[in-house]
Amino acid sequence: PAEALRAELEKRDSEIKRLTRELDQVRMKSASSSAANLGDKIKEVKGVKVLAHRVDNLERPQLRTLVDQLRDKLGSGVVVVGSATDGNVSLIAGVTKDLTSRIQAGKVVGAVAQKVGGKGGGRPDLAEAGGKDAAALDSALAEVYKVVETLLG
C-alpha cells in the first residue's frame, strides 16, 4: 500500500505541475491579448510615449515578458506594469534603450513603488519593485505619467 500511495502522490504532483503551467500560459495569453488594446492608455509626456497598465495575478517572470512585449510595441517609450496578487504588489518598469540616457527604469519604478509602500531598482532599461499596499496600485500607476515628466525635467 505504501508504494501505491507514493505512486498516486507522484501522479497527482505531476498533474498539479502540469495544470499550474497551463494556468500560467492562459494568464499570459490573457494579459497579452488585453495589452493589444492599450492604445488609449499610451500618453505622450515631453515627447516620450508612456504606458502604465495593471494586470493582476501574474508572477514576476510573466510581468517581465509582458513589459518586453509592450516595449517592443511602443518602439520607443516607457512602460510600467503593476500586478496585485494576495495583497502584494509587483511593479516592473521598462525603458527602451534609446531613452535610457534620459530616463532610467529604476528611478521610475522606485518613485512609483513608494506609493504602494515598497521599493525597488534594477537596470536602466528594466527594473522591478514590490510593495504591500495593493489598494494603492491604481493611483500609483496613475502617477507614472507625472513621475516620468518630473524625471525628464
Given a cut of 80, whether residue 34 has pLDDT beyond it is: no
Mean per-residue pLDDT of the chain: 89
Bridging pattern class, strands 43-45 and 88-95: unpaired
In the chain the beta strands, taken as DSSP E runs, fall at 43-45, 48-54, 77-85, 88-95, 119-122, 126-131
Q: How confident is the model at residue 37 (pLDDT cuts 50, 70, 90)?
A: low
pLDDT higher than threshold 70 for residue 32: no
Cα(1)–Cα(58) distance, rounded to whole angstroms?
Answer: 40
Q: Tell me how crowded residue 50 is: count the other CB atoms within 10 A of its CB.
A: 24
> Collapsing DSSP states into helix, strand and coil, what is residue 47?
coil
pLDDT of residue 101: 94
What's the whole-number mean pLDDT along residues 96-109? 94
pLDDT at 22: 87
**pLDDT reported for residue 25:** 80
User: Which pLDDT value is given to residue 97?
Assistant: 94
Average pLDDT over residues 34-39: 66
Given a cut of 90, is residue 128 above it in pLDDT?
A: yes
List the grid coordinates of 145.
505619467
User: How much is the pLDDT for 33?
Assistant: 66
**Whether residue 29 has pLDDT greater than 90:** no
- In 3D, which of 113, 110, 133, 114 has the Cα closest to residue 123? 110
What is the 3-state composition of the chain as percent helix, strand, coil, each rounded to the nearest 5? 55, 25, 20
Which domains are seen in the chain, by residue range? 34-152 (3.10.310.40)
Q: What are the tens digits of pLDDT across the range 77-86?
A: 999 999 998 8
Checking phi first, is residue 53 left (phi over 0); if not, alpha (psi -120 to 50) or beta? beta
Give the pLDDT of residue 56. 83
Grid coordinates representing 93 are: 518598469
**d(C-alpha 3, C-alpha 57), whole Å:** 37
Q: Distance between alpha carbon 95 and the CA centroid of its chain, in Å? A: 13
Query: pLDDT class for 11, splitting at 50, 70, 90?
Result: very high
**35 pLDDT exceeds 70?**
no
